[in-house]
Structure formats: structure tokens, C-alpha cells
Structure 1
Amino acid sequence: MMLLASLIVLFFSLLFLIVDSIRKEQRHKKVALYIGDHSARAPSRVNRFFVRFGKEHRQELEQKMIEAGYYNTDWAKFYFPAKLLVLALVSGLVLLGDMTSTNKLIVVIFSLIGVIVVPDTMLQMRRKMLISRTSAQLPYLLDMMSVCVQTGMTIEAALVYLGKELAEFDSDLCYQIKRTSDSAKIHGLEKALNDLSERIPTPPVRSFVLTIIQNLQYGTSVAQVLSDLAEDMRKVQILTVEEKVGKLSAKMSVPLILFIMFPIVILILAPSIMQMTLNI
């Protein structure tokens, strides 16, 4: 019992140190931003300790977190230590529990698999959900971009403007547009749009990218084309919903047969079968 209490105290102590380190770093950043001090500051001891874990895969992990919608990459350095901490805590609780050695070994193995697989799976699921949701909001972006172009803005200026104005509408879409706008200033608009289609690999985004690239290459009018493309995307979304509704009746037939028809058949036949068994 004392060992369990010690493990709990150790866990909360480490958690307090992590939270306190993050708060101190945020305060230092705010003070440096307020006084205009942009000089590099040495990381804290806790940060240096956590940076050692998973250093080889840090860039890949940061990219996964950004794709999943977690844009603060400072949390990446706590990813692997958090896994180890959870695994150590679960292993300690299992070893102190009243189970056989075989059951303890099985629980520890499943905990190890869960700690390794579950977080990455959740990031991948959130990435797919984020791609689908961002792609569904694309018609609104096209309508607003069409209005911006009609007022005399260039494509680059429209992206810069929408990268600021879309923050309250959809933060994820705003991040993608702002990242595209920033990349266009360095690598050019065509390269930035191709990168956008790689980050969000869906047919609507590819259609949008090809439309803008065609405008850049041939100088065609893009305002009306964007409006028509947004209307076509909305029609496709409506057809997709109607298709899902049409498939719903076929999917409902399986639980209908399993949970309604079979019990009804059993209720009808049960009295006769019971009567036959009594007569025998």
C-alpha cells in the first residue's frame, strides 16, 4: 500500500514539474514579446530532460501533430515521456495488484501494445477527420475568394486576407490557407497550391488547385469559375448525403433481422415447443 502511494505521489510530482515548466516558459515568452526581446534563451532543465526522448523522430511527430490539428508543436517533446510514464504507472499498479503472474504479464503486454499503438492511431483518425471536415468547408472559401477577386484583389492578396478573416469561421481551414499564403511568398503560388493538395488529398481540393493553376498559366477569369466550382461541390455533398441515406435502409435490415425477427420467431414457436416437451 505504501509503495502504491509512493508511485502516485511520484506521478503527480512529475506532472506538477511539467506543468510548472510549461507555465514558466509561457511567462518568459510573454515578457520577451512585451519588451521586444527576441534573443534566444536557454531551455529549462525539464525541457532539456524531455528533449532527449524521441529526438530522432521529433520532426515526424511534429508533422503528425500538425496534420491532426495540434498546431503547438512544443507538446511533441512530451509525447514519448508521457508514453513511458503511463506505461510505468500501469505496470506499477499491475505488479501491486492481486493477480497471478501470468495475468500480470498479459496485462503489462497489452498495456505496452496500447501505449505504442493507441496514441498514433488516434492521431491518424483525427487527421482523416480533419481532412474530411476541412474539405467540406471548401465551398465557403471559394465563395469568399470569388468575392475578393471580383473586388479587384489578386489570388495572393485574397489568400492573405482570407488567412486572417477565416480564424473565427474555421481555425483549421484558416491555418491551411495561411500556411499556403506564407509558402506562396517564398516558393511561389503554384508550389504552395501543390503542397496544399498534398496536405489535403481530396478531389475538391485538387479541383480548386487545378483551377487556380490554370488561371495562373492561361490568365483566364477565375471569379465566376470559383463560384461555379463551389456550387458543384455543394451538389456533390448533397448527392453524397442522399447516397448515405439510400444505403441506410439496407444497413438497417441486418439489426432488424437479428434483434426483431428472430425474437418474434422464438416467441411464436416457444409455446408450441414447451407444450410438446410437456406432452412427451
Structure 2
Amino acid sequence: MKIFFFIIIIISGTVLGTFIYGKIRQSIIKKAMTLVDANVQALKLQEHKTHHQTEAVLEQNSSLLNLYRRIDGTFSVKIGLSVALFIICLIASKIAHWQLERNDLVMIGILSLVATIVLPSTLRALYVKRRVRTLSAELPWMIDLLAVSIQCGMTPEQAFKFLADKMEGINPDFVPFLQRLVRRAEMSGLSNALIHFSREIPSTETRLFCSMLDQSLQYGSSLYEQLMDLSREIREIQLLATEENIGKLSAKMSVPLILFFMFPVVIIVAAPGIMRVFSDG
């Protein structure tokens, strides 16, 4: 039986090593094929810096994000939450009749402190990124409404103002961003407002929308046709991204299938023969 388990460990290590080596090689090839210049790097850094602008806008309509920010910004609240979490763990251990030693209590206290320090900032970042993805996915619908408003005879400024007033019943997530865009357009022009809009929703779809609209305003081309084409292209990009994620999912599912399905089948098939060989010997 020791030889049998040793063979299983070797096969598992080989499969795992092959998988890790493939991932490392894939990342090396991807880095070698990607040309990184100063503008791209600066854009990535700018996206990380401007997430706080997105968070500032989202806080207007999200009490949960406000709670995360207050917890993350106040050290005394974190200490109080860690103490409360430690007391809850002690009460649970008493109810379950667990015998906790001094080392266990110290470990629970450290874990409670780390959880209350790390979790609020992590939850804030995850919440903002999730809302940015949601807004980027729903951007084609807003572009369609903007195109229809412009086709009805409105100027882009009037169309944005109309959407800021009417989007509450369609998609309220866009309302604070559109209201800020309208106020900036009234103060410093639509081009400057579009730059801030692309920073507040940092995504590829938003940058495409803002750059296309800015170029159309400068060169006087037809806005309706370009907006409809852009909406169609963004939907195609999102569809391709979904298909790519589906393709990656099948590759990821092969690992648990190999570990939890193939090996048990091999064991069930090979175990009687191996046990018979050892018993005859």
C-alpha cells in the first residue's frame, strides 16, 4: 500500500507541476509579447489613484460604502470591533464547550485584530471595482439613450442633462455621475467634463465613449451614427470577454476533475489487482 500511495503522490505532483509550469510559461510569453510604454504605465497608475473619485461619487447613494469607509478610517472603531469579535468567539467557545488554552486565545485575538484591520479596506475596494464593472457593462444602454436624445434634436449638453433627470427610474447608478458631468460641462465645457467622467468610471468602455464623443465634437461628425456604432462595438467586446471567460472556465475545471475524479477511478480500478499481487507475494 505504501508503494501505491507513493505512485499517487508522484502522479499528483507531476500534474500539479505541469500545470504550474504551463501557467508560468504562459505569463512569461504574455509579458514578452506585451509592449509596455510610459503612457500605458501612467494610465494604470492613474486608474489606481482615481478609484477614490469613483468611491466619492458612489458614497452619495450607498450607505454600505459609507459604513466601510467610516470603519476603515477610524482606528478606534477597528479596535472596538476586534474586541467585540474576540468576545463573540469566547462566547461561542463557551456555548460549544471548547477548551481553549492561552495560545488559542492569543491566536484568536490576533486573527480578530487582523480581520478588522484588513477586511474594511478590502471590502471597499471590492465594492468599488464591482460597481465599476456593473456601470461599464450597462454603458451601452446609456449610449443608446444618448443617441436617441441627440437624434430627437437635443445638443449633447441638453441630452446629458435630460438623462441626468430621467435616469433615476431606468438606472439610478448613473445619476450621480451624470449630474457631476452636467455641472462640469456648465462650468468648464463638455470636453473637460468628459475627461473627469472617464476618470470617475475608469474602464476601457468609458474611455472609448469619452474619446469618441470628444473627437466628434471637435470635428463635427454625425453623433447619432457614431454613438450607435460605438454601442454595438462595446457589446461585441463584452461578448468576446464573456466567451473568453467561458473558455478559461473549462480549463480551470480540468484540475479538480483530474484530482477528485480521475485519481479515485484509478484507485478503484487498480486497487484490487495491486492488493492481489501483494497478497500472492
Aligned partner of 1:91 in structure 2 is 86
d(CA) in 1 for partners of 2:116 and 2:71?
14
Gaps of 5+ in 1: 1-59
Q: Distance in 2 between matches of 1:254 and 1:65?
A: 41
Number of equivalent positions: 221
Question: TM-score, length-normalised on structure 2?
Answer: 0.70
The aligned runs of 1:170-249 (5 Å cut-off) are: 170-249=171-250
Q: Distance in 1 between matches of 2:54 and 2:133?
A: 18
The more displaced of 68-77 and 217-226 is 68-77
Quote the Cα distance in structure 2 between the aligned partners of 1:68 and 1:252. Answer: 38
Cα distance in structure 2, aligned partners of 1:252 and 1:69:
40
Alpha carbons of 1:93 and 1:240: their partners in 2 closer, same or farther (altered >3 Å)? Answer: closer
In the other structure, the counterpart of 1:269 is 270
Which residue of 2 is the match for residue 260 of structure 1?
261
Given that 2:83 and 2:112 are in contact with CA atoms closer than 8 Å, whether structure 1 keeps it comes out as no
Residue aligning to 1:160: 161
**CA shift for structure 1 position 162:** 0.9
Give the alignment of 1:1-280 within 5 angstroms.
64=55, 66-67=57-58, 71-72=62-63, 75=67, 76-77=69-70, 80=74, 82-93=77-88, 99-280=100-281
RCO comparison, higher one (Cα < 8 Å, 6+): 2
Q: Which amino acid aligns with 2:148?
A: V
1:113-143 deviation line (CA, Å, top 9, x unaligned)? 1101111101101111111110011111111
- Code of the aligned partner of 1:208: F
Partner amino acid, structure 1, of 2:81 = V
Conserved 8 A contact 2:59-2:66: no
Provide the C-alpha distance between the structure 2 equivalents of 1:114 and 1:130, rounded to a whole number of angstroms.
23
Query: How far apart are the structure 2 equivalents of 1:128 and 1:74?
Result: 15
Q: Report the CA distance between 1:145 and its aligned residue.
A: 0.5
Q: Contact 1:156/1:184 (CA < 8 Å) preserved in 2? A: yes
Range with greater deviation from structure 2 (130-139 or 81-90): 81-90
Deviation, 1:279, is 2.5
Q: Percent of aligned positions with the same letter in both sequences?
A: 33
TM-score (norm 1): 0.70
Shift of 1:183: 2.5
The one-letter amino acid paired with 2:172 is S
Give the whole-Å Cα distance in 1 for the aligned partners of 2:136 and 2:241.
14
